Amino acid sequence: MSDIKNILKLIKDNDISYVDLRFTDPRGKMQHVSQHISTIDEESLTNGFMFDGSSIAGWKAINESDMLMKPDLSRSFIDPFFAQPTLSIFCDILDPISGNPYERDPRSTAKAALDYMSSMGVGDTAYFGPEPEFFIFDDVKMEVSSTTSYAEVDSSENPSNSSREYESGNMGHRPGVKGGYFPVPPVDSGQDIRSEIVSVLSDMNVPMEKHHHEVAPAQHELGLKFGTLIETADNVQLYKYAIHMVAHSYGKTSTFMPKPVAGDNGSGMHTHQSIWKSGKPLFAGKEYADLSESALYYIGGIIKHAKSLNAFTNPSTNSYKRLVPGFEAPVLLAYSSRNRSASCRIPFTDSPNGKRVEIRFPDAMANPYLAFAAMLMAGLDGIKNKIHPGESMDKDLYDLPPEELSKVPTVCGSLREALDSLKEDHIYLTSGNVFSVDQINAYIDLKMEEVINFEHAPHPIEFKMYYSS
């Protein structure tokens, strides 16, 4: 049965009232349009749906804003959060005139990266396994104006609430600073909400493996199973959506900000990746940690282009409050077997099929399509140009003496530096016309708006440090 027949049968069998068309903007936020079932038939599912893309930040101007949403009929799910029966379908964005993928559409860029990999003859499948972390709070308050700037988050797990008056009494069980990894309930108060999120995601056809509390109070992680690049990027989008929605239904609020809390661990998105060809793992071999030469070259490409990659893998000003020494942050551009202090770790596995590299500096603010595509392109550049990463560093990099530490390159220290690095180092991304120069420049302009907003606004801590000086 064709994908169209499957979709139409799914609609009929489940009395679907709306079809929700979903796509992702350059910043990484899912967008949607809900089509009434009367507009859905074989022709519309085949040809796609016109829409105005002028209001999507970083996309076309209003004078050329007509765009086409083309449903990917292989990727749909019944939305568990909507009152009316709704089938959601992932879409690619096409230029309605040429019928070609729109060059600023992140999902289309990720597909182009896979096509480029195949054209190189390197491999036919790229697997990605991300580990997005997040916080769940009971309450968040924020205000930014010309005269006010503050944010306040609260969770019953916060150590600062140990003496707080609660209507039902203060139960006293809560993780301390860096104490959340990972005691059983009642210290871990998120067991039930995480279980529900995992169950909901499983119902949405997202393969899940586990869940647990993370290091910081109110910080969590769900185990998302690895998959092919596009499949996994789609799953990350659903992962974030489900977490936001389930938390909301519990009267709570969730965030993927890397560093919403000072003085404790931030949230990352360690990303495992490997390339396969003809059903065989390309990264398994007889080099360091049983890696292949190609795997080492892949690592070399990642390390060489890491600073420009940061623009996609760590795309917020807040990202660089996580990427600082002292909080298990992977700031040092080195590789090592099993060593979590390196920004590139080779996880232990006794099977060649499990051979992979784990890039540890990304965070979940990343647009998964752009971040995965960019890392793949950096790795492919390493393979193409045989960029060896040098010697491994099998020691605790957090404890290096200053003279040794100064010789190890680091990731960027700010979003501005990352965008400047992307401006200077992006040719590897344009190979095979995967990323276009126009797309990269538009992305830089979009993110520079955030940099300017951040740099031009007084910060509360500046008042604390300087007001009376």
* Contact (Cβ atoms closer than 8 angstroms) between residue 96 and residue 66: yes
Quick one: which of 300, 313, 372 has its CA closest to 127? 372
The catalytically annotated residue of 27, 220, 244, 270 is: 270
What letter represents residue 11's amino acid? I
360 is catalytic: yes
345 is catalytic: no
State the Cα–Cα distance between residues 51 and 54, nearest whole angstrom: 9
The catalytically annotated residue of 25, 188, 221, 264 is: 221
The catalytically annotated residue of 25, 79, 92, 133 is: 133
214 is catalytic: yes
The catalytically annotated residue of 3, 196, 340, 450 is: 340
The catalytically annotated residue of 211, 322, 360, 426 is: 360
What letter represents residue 359's amino acid? I
Contacts of 469 (CB under 8 A, 6+ apart): none
The catalytically annotated residue of 214, 234, 363, 381 is: 214
450 is catalytic: no
Structure tokens at 141: 């308050």
The catalytically annotated residue of 92, 131, 157, 264 is: 131
290 is catalytic: no
Q: Hey, CA dihedral for 331, 335, 339, 344, is it positive or negative?
A: positive
103 is catalytic: no
* Contact (Cβ atoms closer than 8 angstroms) between residue 153 and residue 261: yes
Contacts of 186 (CB under 8 A, 6+ apart): 171, 173
Quick one: which of 373, 347, 369 has its CA closest to 358? 347
The catalytically annotated residue of 52, 143, 192, 404 is: 52
Q: Helices (H) and strands (E) in the chain — how many of each?
A: 14, 17
- What is the full DSSP assignment across 207-255? -EEEEEE-SSTTEEEEEEPPEEHHHHHHHHHHHHHHHHHHHHHTT-EEE
455 is catalytic: no
- State the DSSP code for 454: H
The catalytically annotated residue of 358, 363, 381, 420 is: 358
Token look-up 């890392």 returns: 375
270 is catalytic: yes
Q: Which residues are catalytic?
A: 52, 131, 133, 214, 221, 270, 340, 358, 360
